[in-house]
Amino acid sequence: MRLSPLLVMLLLTACAGGTQPANCPPPPDAATMALLPKTDEHGPSLPPPPGKLEHPVKTVPPLYPSCALQMHLNGYVDFAFTLEPDGSVGDFKVIKEMPAGFGFAAAGSAVFGQWRFLPKMVIGKELATQAFYRFTWKLK
């Protein structure tokens, strides 16, 4: 008996834990997957991006996006923001989400405004400055 490719795909998907989640984009291609963080720890991790090293003093962990979790995807979001003189996050925007469309940007954006960082000091005075931060999600 020969199975159609569609039936084989459906059977493999069912064995892997169900069908593709509703309202989720298709899985990323191999080239995109190669750019994602490697699986080596559980839950969101928040390493500093290359370049500017910001020091959070208060964090609120982001949720793991449901589409990404159901599809077993790691990902990251880069934020550009104004580090206010009091250490709060102002005027932040997503500058990169990888892979795009799986909810990483929304999950990070939902909590990033609640974070606090060490303010920038110049000659003993706290100043607003442009800064960057990367949220990284990794599944075990």
Question: Does the pTM of the predicted model rise above 0.75?
Answer: no
pLDDT value at 51 more than 70:
no
Please write the tens of the pLDDT for every residue from 12-28.
Answer: 333 344 445 567 777 77
User: Whole-number mean pLDDT of the chain?
Assistant: 77
Q: What mean pLDDT do residues 109-125 have? A: 91
Model confidence band, residue 117 (pLDDT cutoffs 50, 70, 90): very high
Q: Going from the N-terminus, what domains does the chain have, and what CATH number goes with each?
A: 23-137 (3.30.2420.10)
Q: Is the pLDDT of residue 83 over 70?
A: yes
Contact criterion met (CB below 8 Å) for 42 and 138: yes
Query: Is a pLDDT exceeding 60 seen at residue 84?
Result: yes
pLDDT at 16: 40
